[in-house]
């Protein structure tokens, strides 16, 4: 069984565009050892820009979350992980 730990940072309800959360994630994972997925409010360009400019995120999801999108993204990540493991 392969276990993968990820950080999901939901900044969709923050008042500072998520700056505090991204600083906290950067301090918590200085070597960027696990995937970081940002959850931003759909259409909030400040949140999206702050998440992307943090240079921490590996994926970006929009709130409100949709089950079909989550399933597709999780499946893609698992599939990509298996492919990279087979190449090693």
Provide the domain limits for residue 56. Answer: 7-87
32 versus 84: the higher-pLDDT residue is 32
Residue 2 lies in a domain: no
How many independent structural domains does the chain possess? 1
The pair of structure tokens assigned to 35 is 């995937």
Instruction: Please report whether residue 12 resides in a domain.
Output: yes
1 inside domain: no
- Residue 33 placed within a domain: yes
Report pLDDT digits (tens) over 18-40.
Answer: 999 999 988 887 677 788 899 99
- Residue 20 inside a domain? The answer is yes
Residue 26 has what pLDDT?
87
Residue 17 inside a domain? The answer is yes
Instruction: Taking the CA atoms of 61, 55, 6 and 83 in sequence, report the sign of the dihedral they define.
Output: positive
With 0-12 CB in 10 A as exposed, 13-18 as middle and 19+ as buried, what is 38? Answer: buried
Q: Is 54 helix (H, G, I), strand (E, B) or coil?
A: coil
Q: What's residue 79's pLDDT? A: 61
Q: What is the pTM of this model?
A: 0.76
* Residue 69 belongs to domain with CATH number: 3.40.50.2300
Query: What pLDDT score does 42 carry?
Result: 94
What does the pLDDT read at residue 7? 86
């Amino acid at each position: 069984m392969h276990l993968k730990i990820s950080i999901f940072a939901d900044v969709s309800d923050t008042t500072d565009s998520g700056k505090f959360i991204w600083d906290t994630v950067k301090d918590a994972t200085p070597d960027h050892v696990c995937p970081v997925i940002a959850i931003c409010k759909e259409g909030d360009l400040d949140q999206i820009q702050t998440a992307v400019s943090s240079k921490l995120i590996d994926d970006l999801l929009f709130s409100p979350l949709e089950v079909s999108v989550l399933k597709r993204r999780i499946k893609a990540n698992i599939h990509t992980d298996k492919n990279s493991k087979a190449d090693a």
